[in-house]
Amino acid sequence: MADDTQQVDPKADPKAEREAARLARRIGSFSKAHGGAEGQVAYIGQRGARIVLVGEDGAWGDIVAPTYAVAEQAVRKSGITVHESFDGEFAAKVKTGPYEWSRMAGLQLGGPGNG
C-alpha cells in the first residue's frame, strides 16, 4: 500500500510554489492580526492538509492546502512555530466563545442546527 502522505516536492512545481507562498501570506496575516501564531498541519486525505492556526490572543482558524507538502512549505515560509499534534499546552491556548460552544453542542443543547 502506498503512503498517501508522500507528495511531489513543491519546489519542483511552480504552481505548488505559488500556492505555498499564497498560503504563507494568509498565515502571516492571521499571525499579524492576532499578535503571533502557532500551527499544526494534519493530513486530511485526498483533499490535502489542514493547517490549524492559534493566535497568541487565543483566536483560531484553519486553512486547507492542496497537499501535505504544500502545507509544510507554507508554514515554513510563514515562520510560525509548528506543533506535531494538537494537544496539551498548544490546544489549551484556544479560546472559545458562546458561538463555538453552541456549534459544538448543536441541537443537543439548543445550538443552531446543521441544516
Of 75, 74, 40, 79, the closest CA to residue 60 belongs to 40
CA distance 112 to 77: 38
**pLDDT for res 80:** 96
The x, y and z cell numbers of residue 23, run together, are: 498560503
Stretch among 36-45, 65-74, 102-111 having the lowest mean pLDDT: 102-111
pLDDT, average across residues 25-53: 96
* pLDDT tens track for 46-93: 999 999 999 999 999 999 999 999 999 999 999 999 999 988 888 889
- SS in 3 state form for 19-83? HHHHHHHHHHHHHHHCCCEEEEEEECHHHCEEEEEEECCCCEEEEEECCHHHHHHHHHHHCCEEE
Instruction: Round to whole Å and give the CA distance between 83 and 99.
Output: 26
pTM of the prediction?
0.76
